[in-house]
Amino acid sequence: MSIHRNVAQAVVDALIQIFIQKEHAEIVVDRLLKSNPKWGSRDRRFIAENVYDITRWWRYLHFIIGKDENKTDSDAIWTALGVWLKIKNEQPLPVWQEFNNVNGINIDSKKSDAEIVPKILYSFPDWMDELGQKELGKEWNKQMKALNEPAPLVLRCNTLKNTISELKSFFDKAENETEFIENYPDAIILKKRQNLQQSEGFKSGLFEIQDASSQLVAPFLRVEPGMFVVDACAGAGGKSLHLAALMKNKGKIIALDTEKFKLTELKKRAARSNATIIETHEFVHPQLISQWSGKVDRLLLDVPCTGLGVIRRNADAKWKLTPKTVEELQLKQQFILKNYSSVLKSGGIMVYATCSILPSENQNQIEEFLAFNNQFTLLEERKILPSEGFDGFYMAALLKK
């Protein structure tokens, strides 16, 4: 099947917005796909897949075409697109002027050269490779490889509206093949990728799209119906919704976030899911939490982090993060741990969680917190690496004595 020029131009335009104008990939792709209702499903898939693939393999492709990935331009992006299409071997390239430079590149030879240098082969910036080697040692190369592999499409059954068996039957009837995941009681994998947000099952709140690793965080809190729970960094509320289901809609969940638009989305999701015990508050000042001091049964701190464990879902994060960003996030994590833990009552449990795989954001933060807070003790911690099959996550449960 032929490649249409306007569709290829859309891919290039998107990459210019991501790498030259410094916009976020997900926002760019979403806006682009909405801009032309005449594009069919094949065109939309071509655009989305190639934008995300080239973003993921940005350094690798620029190495092959002999360009500095930090000094790209539209000509280099056209050439990178042509090389990527040849590597995928989907079909012969159109005879367009924009692809003229592709024929002069010995792709096989350059690919062999890239295999010698893991940070080029797996397409990671120098500073991030150095940080990964420092913190994870030999394990880092394995994780770089895993972070470039496609992420499975995992759903969490909303047990406020159906059971996991009923949800599987729902998809089976629609001839969408699914499978259970051992030791993940509310999770199923949907084998064929599709836009689920327009489906009736999603609109009626039967499930949420949530990776298996992320689904482990809410149960780590050991909640029970009737408890008072604070989700202090709730975002759009995926874990708040899971907590409401685990609590069988009995008790209270306070969902906090500094971004009002995220809480607006959480309200919509809660209504769709019938999660009636969630109360949202915009977090405008740390003093907000003082009203609950010593009153909370469970505290979830799903703190802001580098997101290195979920880069395969957010490939442009590799190119948006900086060493300074990492330092700022680590300071923010320390601040949240130190200042929010006061809301717990004696015997309460706090869970600190990140979607990072760096010890400096994970166990090191907990060790430092415990060194200066002897009223807390570590109950359990869990580290999940992307090479295990799902997103990279860390979680630690701490008991207030």
Task: Give the separation between CA 360 and CA 362, rounded to whole angstroms.
Answer: 6
**Per-residue confidence (pLDDT) for residue 1, from 0 to 100:** 60
**Per-residue confidence (pLDDT) for residue 174, from 0 to 100:** 82
Q: Which residues of 51-70 are buried (b: 16+ CB within 10 A; e: fewer)?
A: bbbbbbbbbbbbbbbebebe
Calculate the CA 196 to chain-centre distance.
Answer: 17
Q: What is the CATH number of domain 153-209?
A: 3.30.70.1170
**Per-residue confidence (pLDDT) for residue 154, from 0 to 100:** 96
Q: What is the CATH number of domain 218-400?
A: 3.40.50.150
**Per-residue confidence (pLDDT) for residue 176, from 0 to 100:** 86
| Own/partner long-range contacts of 95-99 (Cβ < 8 Å, ≥24 apart) | 96/5, 98/8, 98/12
Continuous segment of H or E residues that includes residue 244: helix 238-246
Calculate the CA 394 to chain-centre distance.
Answer: 13
Catalytic residue among 157, 233, 305, 355: 355
250: left (phi over 0), alpha (psi -120 to 50) or beta: beta
Q: Which residues contact 282 (CB under 8 A, 6 or more apart)?
A: 256, 257, 258, 260, 263
CA distance to 3, 24, 60, 61, 370, per residue, from 10 (Å): 12, 16, 21, 19, 51
What residue ranges do the domains of the chain occupy?
5-122, 153-209, 218-400
Supply φ then ψ for residue 166, to 5 degrees.
Answer: -65, -40
CA distance to 34, 103, 179, per residue, from 30 (Å): 6, 32, 29
Task: Give the separation between CA 169 and CA 163, rounded to whole angstroms.
Answer: 10
**Per-residue confidence (pLDDT) for residue 150, from 0 to 100:** 85
Does the active-site annotation cover 355?
yes
**Per-residue confidence (pLDDT) for residue 312, from 0 to 100:** 93
Q: Which residue has the tokens 């979607």?
A: 355
Q: Which of 80, 197, 70, 86 is nearest to 126 (CA)?
A: 70
Which residues of the chain fall short of a pLDDT of 50?
A: none
Angle at 385 between CA 384 and CA 388, to 5 degrees: 95
CA distance to 227, 236, 308, 312, 389, per residue, from 352 (Å): 18, 18, 16, 23, 22
Secondary structure E strands in 130-251:
153-157, 178-181, 184-190, 207-209, 228-231
The bridge status of strand 344-354 relative to strand 376-384 is unpaired
Return the biggest CA–CA distance within the chain. 71
**Per-residue confidence (pLDDT) for residue 62, from 0 to 100:** 97
Q: For 258-290, what is each residue's pLDDT tens digit?
A: 999 999 999 999 999 999 999 999 987 777 888
Calculate the CA 27 to chain-centre distance.
Answer: 14
The second-level CATH assignment, the architecture, of 5-122 is Orthogonal Bundle (1.10)
Judged by DSSP in three states, 185 sits in strand
Helix and strand tally (H, E) in the chain? Answer: 17, 11
